[in-house]
Amino acid sequence: MNSVVLVLNQDYQPISICSVQRSVKLVFLNKAEMLHNNPDQVLRTVNRDFHYPSVIRLRRYIHLPYAKIVLSRKNIMKRDRHMCQYCGSKADLTLDHVYPRSRGGRDSWENLVTACTRCNVRKGDRTPEEAGMPLNIKPYRPIHITFFQNLMGGVQEHWKPYLYM
C-alpha cells in the first residue's frame, strides 16, 4: 500500500494527496466518497472485495487560503525538473538569473531558472539572447496544481481530468 490518492474538495478542486490508508479511513467514516478506484489494489475479505481509492472527494467543503508556492531554490529546481534549462544536463546544477542581477534582474519565478554550472558561467552577465543560449522552457510562476505532477514520480493517468490536464 505505497500508493497515493488524489483528494478533491467538495467542489472537485484538487487540494492534496494522501496515503491509501488515510483515504480508506475517510471513505469508511463517510467523510469522503470514492470517485475512482485503483484496479491494481484490492483488499479481499471472506465476504467481499474492497477496491482501494485512487481519487476521493470530500463530502464537506474545506475553505483553504490561496495556495501560493514559495519562491525557493528547491521549488525552482522542482519546476524545472532538475534539468539545466539551456543544455538539458542534470549534473552540477545551480540557479541562473535570466536577466542578470547586475542589470537590475530580481529574484522572481519569471527570472530564475535551473542551469548547470558550465552554462551559467558561459552565459555570464548577459541575457540568453545576447549569449546565444535560448531557454528550453520560458520560466513561469507555477500554480499549486502543477506541483502534483512531480509528487511521487508523476500523475496517474486517471487523475488528469481532475487536474485539468
Q: What is the pLDDT of residue 1?
A: 45
Binned average pLDDT, 10 residues per bin, the chain of 165 residues? 81 87 92 88 78 92 82 91 95 96 94 96 95 94 68 68 71
- Per-residue HEC secondary structure of 58-111 comes to ECCCCCCCCCCCCCCHHHHHHHCCCCCCCCCCCCCEEEEECCCHHHCCCCCCCC
Q: What is the pLDDT of residue 107?
A: 95
Q: What is the pLDDT of residue 151?
A: 54
Q: Residue 50 belongs to what H/E stretch?
A: strand 49-58
Domain architecture of the chain: domains with CATH: 4-66+144-163 (no CATH), 73-131 (1.10.30.50)
